Amino acid sequence: MKQVVIIGAGCLGREALWLLRDLIKAGAQMEPLGFVDDDPGKAGKTILGLKMLGSISRLEKAHKNLEAVLAVGDIQAKCALARRLKKRGIKFVTLVHPQAVFSEDAVIGEGSIIFPGVVMSAQVRIGRFVLLNPGIILSHDVLIGDWSLIGSGAHFAGQARVGEGCQIGTGVNVIPQKTIGDWSVVGAGACVISDLPAKTVSVGVPARVIKKIR
């Protein structure tokens, strides 16, 4: 039995618990141990029937070889925490909801969280610590880079690529073979019909760059 701590007791933490419980119902040998979170307002509370175990730093000192889900929405914070906790020997589980569908040659990286209704076609590659929200369709050969967060209902046509650390809004469409550069943001509902540069914010149909990210 794998005992799993959920790091982050916010909205994504609650969603990760839902996902874990659905996996357990489907036969996974896992048990949620509790949440850890640095928000003092959450100390001592029970959230959706699961107790708070304390702060993240207390957890680092208390446990060796722990398995955890990193349920942190902010991409920069997620990156920093994953790097810090990996140095302490914490291992990260990859959560794929039983109602996500993927081809046998799809690759899904460590620590990624994949919600129900996601479809991953032939040779899709999902990096490490990626978050795929419900109802995302990834056609053949799509690549999603490490750390990226994809909003629900986004559609990626064949060979589309998302760089690392991107935030793709809900309902975005990307036509075949287009690339979204590293650490970029694409606004909800945008339609990407040309490559988008790294570290930019784009919105609209078709998607146009509206600002750079420093």
Contact residues toward ligand COA (CB under 6 A) are 149, 151, 169-170, 185, 187-189, 201, 203-204, 210
Identify the DSSP state of 38. S
From CA 193, how far away is CA 54, in angstroms rounded? 46
Whose CA is closest to 50, among 22, 17, 2? 17
The b-or-e profile of 138-152 (16+ CB within 10 A means b, else e) is bbbbbbbbbbbbbbb
Question: 63, 97, 140, 155: which one is catalytic?
Answer: 140
Q: Give min distance, CB of 184 to ligand COA, in A.
A: 10
Q: Measure the CA–CA gap between 45 and 51, rounded to whole angstroms.
A: 6
User: By C-beta, is 35 or 115 nearer to ligand COA?
Assistant: 115
Query: 155 catalytic, yes or no?
Result: no
Element holding 84 (H helix, E strand):
helix 75-87
Whichever of 43 and 210 has its CB closer to ligand COA, that residue is 210
Task: Return the CA Rg of the chain.
Answer: 17
CA–CA separation, 20 and 4 (whole Å): 9
φ/ψ of residue 3, rounded to 5:
-95, 130
Closer residue to ligand COA, CB minimum distance, 141 or 146: 146
Among all residues, which ones are annotated catalytic?
140
